[in-house]
Structure 1
Amino acid sequence: MQHRSRRTRLIVAASTLLVPAALLATVQTADAAPAAGSVAIPSTLPSWLPKATSRARTAAPAAAADASQTVRVYLAPNGGSDALAKAALAVSDPSSASYGQFLTADQFHAQWSPTAQAEQTVRGYLADQGLTVSGTAPFRRYVTATGTVSQLDKAFGVTLKKFTHDGQHVVAPTGAARVPAKVGAAVLTVSGLDTTQTKMVHKDTPKATTPPAGFRNGRPCSTFWGDVQAKYQADFKTPLPKFDGSTLTYAPCGYTGPQLRAAYEGGTNLDGSGATIAITDAYAWQYIASDANRYASENGDGSYAAGQLTQNLPASFNSQDLCDPTGWSGEETLDVEAAHAMAPGAKIRYYGSSSCLDDDFLDTLARVADEGVAQVVSNSWGDAGEVGTADSYAAYGAVLQQSALQGISVLFSSGDSGDELANTGIKSPDYPASDPYVTAVGGTATAINRSGVRLDTGWGTRSYALSADGKSWTGGDYLYGAGGGVSNVFNQPAYQRGVVNTRLSGGRAVPDLAMDADPQTGMLIGQTQTFPDGTYYAQYRIGGTSLASPLMAGMTALAVQHNQGRGFGLLNPLIYKQTKVFDDVVPHSNLKATVRVNYNNGVNNDEGVSYIVRTFDQDSSLKTTTGWDQVTGRGVPRPSFFKLTTPSPATAAVKR
């Protein structure tokens, strides 16, 4: 079973974008002539617009003049976006004089948050244009306003038209927004002019999340890698055919915390004490405390101390009919239990987004940064490819850079669909994993034997079924695998130069490192579920880079503990300067495939079982190779990863 939740629409510093600024001139003529002294906001140009021909853009019908739309006007950081991006990189770069000079949340806001004057300028302008200003986000991150199409056209110097693209009916401007220069100086970007993938939401009393349908992994399975050979079916009498000339083993039942710690952590006495891991997902699972405690106590991770697992939730939840809160309950369960398994002494603070929608997830990441209590945040969600909009990239970028400046390491799962070609028609990594201010966690297929010795290869799966006569394996279609590739949006960051293959040097390359993600070698987790005979707690194996990210968050928490509680900010500059803290992941002739048993009804043997061969290291077009690769990045962290340090504040001050 594999699960990686996706939000509906996604969002980085404008200075790092491969910005389609050249397109601005080709479409701006469709709008009214810009007012004298006005400036363009390039990130408001719809990224999908170039797909529409010039004739189609011209012929598109105008949006109804009296129709209402709500926009967010994001305010530029005090000091400017470029300065913020450079500062965030510098404090995370060991070669920089400001390395390790992280700010507290209060210090960040005092120095970088938009000023009261900037807010007043923007609010005054919007009101003067007839828009209704409905509020300002905490720390003046954005101003929200509502107006008619004709008012928005006038306020932002655009012509809003109706378009159909990628199966959606939207309203969008035919060119970038323009505002007076004084206002433009205070604006980072504007979202909401383009309604692409924005969904209608409703706010009500949050529904009780229904426990998901029950699931159990079929038997037989192996307690450790290789324990049970797949010579026979479950009756241990009927032979199973060999695969590619080899007798395979049954897949592990699901690794537990003690197995994962033995394999990854090398017997260290570190447990993450003094570190806080933040986890973001949508909604909130009402059984998380009892499920996580039971899982930890029954599987050798130790019960949670008082206050060790806490939640930060929004005032209300929305879009539940659209976003499937029940599905998100499994994601929260996996993330919490995996992080605790790797760092049983760390605090875990769960941040629930009010929905799976773009703006709500952005607000959630902002809450993590504004609280400033976590040193690492794990995010197991993302878009299929880079299908977001330039305005969202800019808005997300500001929050990610804030996190880096505050010493917070932001991890994102790299995705579960390989190069995304089948889903989007374009080879690309997923976003936000492709953001240069994110550490993208790719995936491995990981064999852990009885002695705790680990062997990794790339996660990439083809699936074969047992033939009707039981004498051969049929099929071989690609199923899933770790996401990766080269960004079509972001330039290659300096920290990847000289490490990433020069043939991939055009854009930001994903992932940066990897942990176990293959659902066939995944982790055992426990959750309250709905079975035919009742609702109760049960355990099952799960994978995906949704597993890899919280595993890596636990590893990072141990490094924070060794670093006397100090965070690392953006990990990537440090990662790419290291040569001895990663195990390179390559193909292995003795780690090619495994046999998985599925209950036909998902819960027990009443309706029989199915036998499936799942292969390793066959990830769409992405390949594991010696050195950095598009499946596992630099590789898997060794225990020496824990010994990475940043300078103490006193040492950093001397460097100045």
Structure 2
Amino acid sequence: MPRVVSKRRAVAVAAAAGALSLGSLAAASTARAAGPRVTIAGTHPEWAVTAGHAAAPAVRTGTVSARVYLAGRDSAGLTAYATAVSAPGNALYRHYLTPAQVRARFGATAAQVTAIESWLRSAGLRVTGVTREIGGYVAVTGTVAEASAAFGVRFGRFRAPGGHTYRAPEEPATAPGPVAAGVLTVSGLDTAPHLARPAGALPPPGPNYWVAPPTGAYYFQKIATTKPPAYGRHQPWNVTGYTPRQIRGAYGVTRSRMTGRGQTVAVVDAYASPTMPGDADKFAAVTGDRPFRQGQFAQHLDTPFNSVTECGAQGWYGEETLDIEAVHGQAPGARVHFVAAASCQDADLAQALAYIVNTRAASVVSNSWAEPADEASLTSVDDLIFRAGAAEGIGFFFSSGDNGYESPVEDPASDKIQVDYPTSSPWVTSVGGTSLAIGSRDNYQFETAWGTLLDPLAKSGKSWKYAPPGLYPEYWDGSSGGGTSTMYRQPWYQRPVVPDSLSHAVPGGGRTSTPMRVVPDVSALADPSTGMLVGQTTLQPNGKTYAFSLSRIGGTSVSCPIFAGIEADAQQAAGYPIGFANPAIYRRYGTRAFHDVTGNPLGPGYLAQVRNNYADGFTRRGPIVTYLRTLGVDGEGAAALPATKGYDDATGVGSPRSYIQSFFR
């Protein structure tokens, strides 16, 4: 699982920072004195703090390239309509709007856009582009002085913990009162990594990660009898990697006889693999499925690509491949529309999401990327897009994250315990992760929350180095993302289901009087040791040639496209677009639609596997290293996300059981 930007996450911006220099600009003072102004939300980065700053000249030179995002009209009306069409039993349920109808009712007017352009030009900024659709913006460029005058801010330089310095506004940007209602937010005022910058051509594919033997074709096929026991028994060797057919059997897809035919699933990632969809066709053939038929696969590439080095483009190739193969594996009859963002920067990913809503390119959208919530820069833009999508009958699905509660000891890019975003938006379906045991007949055996502690084999080979399960966090090895949001209040669909003990919890400890959004909503296979096989063209161990190779992949980057594919099957069963799925999902809580995933599915005690790793998994070189992998340890202490009976913040309402069948007419 790649980390940070190539780990399904937009570029992380350093959190706490100290100002290197502050000051005032005459132009900014003049702009503030010109008349009543209104603060623009989301324009002052959390890391651009003033405490402890040193006296130094303000930033007076340089250029600013910004996007002023359009708020549109009647935000409350859009929320109400999106809620009504998504709520079973409502008179407007499934009365979806077309993209043109959404723009006509809730989009920005020509007068609003003209007023915003006039305001920006009056400060000397040059308008370089305008998009009036949902998620649209006015793009401008100019000098620091011109931007300071337009937005009523002073600029300074701020040092991040990693030693990098960024230009950023000292205070939130403002807009003149007459135009402020049409402005949603502004991006590009700071130079931190979420600002997209031009870059060169895409690199070739990276190396493959090779799975060391022995492995089982299914769970419990091979028992590690030559290795020390743990928890009173010899544990099984890990699996080679499940095929899509095995996963279809475990999650009720095979029994449903649904294939997703007639549905379209969009997959959103950054960049585009040079070997797709050929790799997906080869993978289908190798694993016994059918390749894409003519016209079943399409792609929209938002070129030119940029920020290639910052974002780690090679890692995104594997993400795209995994996502497409997982969706096709669970919905082999569905159309797959790949939408490639120009980079992993927040603004470019938002533009890719907006494309889907403005063209209704799909009714199900899989997104295997995330970032800590306090680092997301365009939440208001994304949420506008998600609400518009709900009004059109589009469901957005997001990975819940691979670092549990984002504790700093589990994710150094996070400065506190928190949930990820966009998965924590109340307008998307958050998909958590599990460890899944599948039997010899593709049958579901058991499941627990994904959360792994490693314990290396002792030098003697007769015991494990530490008393199982091992040391946390030193040997923690990934877990399902989840927890309670501090940004969003509890949505209506969670009220009857989510326990107060979770919705009123404050990340890191304490309680709040206001119930908040809790994630994930659902879950599916994610543990890399019970992961899915993926086929991709990769650099071979000789470091010179490229060839198609199989590997086992995990993370909530697997669970999200698996569930998105199953959602397409459910839509086929229903005969209509389900759209924003959460109201329908929570309505099925406690039924046979879901497996209730707990921490002890086989009774008291830990579950575990034994796994061999190459010392260098990319070249298959070095000695074999053996680990006991204890399952179901999703954080400890304040960062713990235990899987319990009923709804929990590790696996949500559970994993698919007869979910598809619950939609049969």
Q: TM-score, normalised by structure 1?
A: 0.89
- 1:248 partnered with 2:235: yes
Structure 1 counterpart of 2:375, which letter? Answer: V
* Secondary structure of residue in 1 paired with 2:383: helix
Q: Hey, what's the Cα distance between the residues in 2 that align with 1:153 and 1:82? A: 31
Q: Displacement, 1:133?
A: 0.8
Q: Hey, what's the Cα distance between the residues in 2 that align with 1:609 and 1:66? A: 56
Within a 5 Å distance, the mapping from 1:148-547 to structure 2 comes to: 148-167=143-162, 168-199=164-195, 201-204=197-200, 206-207=201-202, 209-232=203-226, 240-265=227-252, 266-389=254-377, 392-422=378-408, 423=411, 424-454=414-444, 455-475=446-466, 476=470, 477-505=475-503, 506-533=515-542, 534-547=545-558
* Secondary structure of residue in 2 paired with 1:307: coil
* Secondary structure of residue in 2 paired with 1:284: coil
Between 171-180 and 303-312, report the one with greater CA deviation.
171-180
Q: 1:72 matched to which residue of 2? A: 67
Q: Hey, what's the Cα distance between the residues in 2 that align with 1:46 and 1:609? A: 46
* Secondary structure of residue in 1 paired with 2:127: strand
Between 429-438 and 192-201, report the one with greater CA deviation.
192-201
**Conserved in 2, the CA contact under 8 Å of 1:241 and 1:473?**
yes
**Conserved in 2, the CA contact under 8 Å of 1:272 and 1:561?**
yes
Structure 2 counterpart of 1:587, which letter? Answer: G
Structure 1 counterpart of 2:320, which letter? Answer: E
Q: 2:561 matched to which residue of 1? A: 550
Task: Please give the per-residue CA displacement for 1:63-113, whole angstroms capped at 9, x wherever unaligned.
Answer: 43232111111111122x232223222221124332211112222223222
Work out the percentage of aligned pairs sharing the same amino acid. Answer: 37
- 1:618 partnered with 2:633: yes
Q: Displacement, 1:628?
A: 1.0
Q: 1:585 matched to which residue of 2? A: 597
**Conserved in 1, the CA contact under 8 Å of 2:452 and 2:634?**
yes
Q: 2:141 matched to which residue of 1? A: 146
Q: Which runs of 5+ in 1 are unaligned?
A: 11-26, 233-239, 647-656
Between 520-529 and 140-149, report the one with greater CA deviation.
140-149
Q: TM-score, normalised by structure 2?
A: 0.87
Question: With CA pairs under 8 Å and 6+ residues apart, which has the higher RCO, 1 or 2?
Answer: 1
**Conserved in 2, the CA contact under 8 Å of 1:133 and 1:143?**
yes
Task: Please point out which of 553, 561, 584 is paired with 1:574.
Answer: 584
- 1:5 partnered with 2:14: no
Change (3 A) 1:61 1:198: farther
Q: Displacement, 1:615?
A: 1.2
Q: 2:20 matched to which residue of 1? A: none
Structure 2 counterpart of 1:213, which letter? Answer: P
Change (3 A) 1:137 1:166: farther
* Secondary structure of residue in 2 paired with 1:139: coil
Q: Hey, what's the Cα distance between the residues in 2 that align with 1:447 and 1:250? A: 12
Between 256-265 and 511-520, report the one with greater CA deviation.
256-265
**Conserved in 1, the CA contact under 8 Å of 2:541 and 2:620?**
no
* Secondary structure of residue in 1 paired with 2:375: coil
Q: 1:136 matched to which residue of 2? A: 130
Structure 1 counterpart of 2:381, which letter? Answer: A
Give the aligned length: 611
Structure 1 counterpart of 2:538, which letter? Answer: Q
**Conserved in 2, the CA contact under 8 Å of 1:220 and 1:250?**
yes
* Secondary structure of residue in 1 paired with 2:535: strand
**Conserved in 1, the CA contact under 8 Å of 2:210 and 2:620?**
no
Q: Hey, what's the Cα distance between the residues in 2 that align with 1:157 and 1:600? A: 55
Structure 1 counterpart of 2:142, which letter? Answer: G
* Secondary structure of residue in 1 paired with 2:157: strand
Task: Please point out which of 657, 660, 663 is paired with 1:638.
Answer: 657
Q: Displacement, 1:588?
A: 2.3
Q: 2:91 matched to which residue of 1? A: 97
**Conserved in 2, the CA contact under 8 Å of 1:63 and 1:149?**
no
**Conserved in 2, the CA contact under 8 Å of 1:60 and 1:162?**
no
Q: Hey, what's the Cα distance between the residues in 1 that align with 2:112 and 2:655? A: 45
* Secondary structure of residue in 2 paired with 1:251: coil
